[in-house]
Structure 1
Amino acid sequence: MTTPHSWRKSTRSTNTDNCVEVGRLTDGAAIRDTKNRNAGHLTTTRTQWTAFITALKTDRFE
């Protein structure tokens, strides 16, 4: 597995403590808690990440 790189958080998270960051992987994404970066990260495949983002954009988590 590759090491995540290009970590970023949403610009909408600027004034809040409840943030996660997303990093790029060769074939997917990594997610970590902004407040505790040393705790590690979760990884997803490109397919899983795409399905998750699609679900968010179509309000499937309401």
Structure 2
Amino acid sequence: MTVTTIAVLGIDLGKNICSVVDLDGSGAVVMRRKVKCCATNRMRIRDEQDENRQRLWRRRA
């Protein structure tokens, strides 16, 4: 089994399907996967993004 270091992790959060792509240092695709999204997962991710935005605004103030 070969271990490959992942340099870039791309996540596309769609309405019904989420796509995940892993790239190595040279830009070659290591893994590409599409998974059916669950509404609760999307809401949780959005909540975390909102919390991160609020933290950034507090630092600037």
TM-score range (shorter-chain normalised) is 0.3 to 0.5
| Larger Rg, first or second structure (1 or 2) | 2
TM-score, length of structure 2 as denominator length: 0.37
TM-score, length of structure 1 as denominator length: 0.36
